Structure 1
Amino acid sequence: MADITQIRAKIETADENGAGTDAWVYLGIAGREFCLNSGNGDDFERAAKTCFVLGKEDTSDDGDTFNKVTVSDAEWNDPRTPQLDTEDLDRYPAYIRFVEAGDNPPWCIERVRISVHAGGEKHHFDNLRLEKKAENRRIWLHTRYGERLFLHRVAS
């Protein structure tokens, strides 16, 4: 059991017509929900690749093409308040949740990958049905077709 210091949520919106959204998006993990929002309004636009950082600030480079952002209201979206630990990762389901808002509600997800940093270790969560890019490997979220994408622990 180790204290969770940081969570990174790498989210790719599909590159197709109507894929972007103005909806609210939440990450549920370790028994809490976190709001994934940078405050700039285009986190989930068509073809967006955003890495949301929750908790401990980090200037390291993952060597990928994701736009790394700290979530808005960071002090309230922090896995250290209250302190979560790795034991919580297996007690509760991990998921992405969509809440309709704005003029462009549906959202097409290309890929979601979560990394949880704790005690020098990383724990990874994914939905492997979205692993390979293909038309039938995307998922649309909307109040009429489903609002959650569940994730499970995967090897790094």
Structure 2
Amino acid sequence: MSDITQIRVRVETANIDGAGTDAWIYLALAGREFCLDPGSGNSYFEQGAKTCFVLGEQGGADGGEAGFTDVAVEDAEWNDPRKPQLDTEDLGLAPAYIRFAKAGSNPPWCVERVKVTVRASDGKQYHFDNFRLREVKDNRQLWLHDRYGERLFLYHVTTD
């Protein structure tokens, strides 16, 4: 197995009325949670936003779809898969998911898509996705809120 050096989380908020949120959003991966908070005054979870959160080692091409904005998270030192050092072996030991935590004046969030790419020190990449959100359709979006579900589980997939 190999050390995890970077995690790239591509989040797309649905482009429908009321889809954006001020809530806290977390990624669970490899047995721990990471806060996807890019700082105050952000627009990264607003209606139609496409954001790629970069955890750990910065830089490197995303290799994903065009239109995503790369951002480092607030408190990057504490949201780093290298502190403590996570290993690719950890990827299969606990569920992977995005978690919604109610906050702010506009709590519900409608997620269109979440895709995660994990990069390891040996150059390998690992991908996580949710198959039910792969197609852009009205019934392929998920509203997250404390009253109707706070987690979107992600599955290890062979391609991005």
* Same fold? TM cut 0.5: yes
C-alpha distance in 2 between matches for 1:12 and 1:57: 20
Q: CA deviation at 1:44?
A: 0.3
C-alpha distance in 1 between matches for 2:2 and 2:49: 32
Q: CA deviation at 1:41?
A: 2.2
Tell me what 1:103 maps to. 105
* Alignment: residue pair count: 156
Mind listing any 5+ residue stretches in structure 2 that lack a counterpart?
none
Tell me what 1:22 maps to. 22
Mind listing any 5+ residue stretches in structure 1 that lack a counterpart?
none
Tell me what 1:145 maps to. 148
Q: CA deviation at 1:43?
A: 1.4
Q: CA deviation at 1:64?
A: 1.6
C-alpha distance in 1 between matches for 2:100 and 2:143: 10
Report matched runs for 1:7-156 at 5 Å. 7-39=7-39, 40-60=41-61, 62=63, 64-118=66-120, 119-156=122-159
C-alpha distance in 1 between matches for 2:83 and 2:25: 20
C-alpha distance in 2 between matches for 1:155 and 1:91: 17
CA contact (8 A) 2:8 2:62 kept: no
Query: Comparing 39-48 with 77-86, which one deviates more in the overlay?
Result: 39-48
Paired letter, 1:57: Q
Paired letter, 2:125: K
C-alpha distance in 1 between matches for 2:129 and 2:18: 24
C-alpha distance in 2 between matches for 1:38 and 1:60: 19
RMSD across aligned positions (CA): 1.0
Q: CA deviation at 1:37?
A: 1.1
CA contact (8 A) 1:7 1:115 kept: yes
**1:110-135 Cα deviation digits (max 9, x unpaired):** 00000000020110000010000000
- Classify the secondary structure of the residue corresponding to 2:44: coil
CA contact (8 A) 1:43 1:50 kept: yes
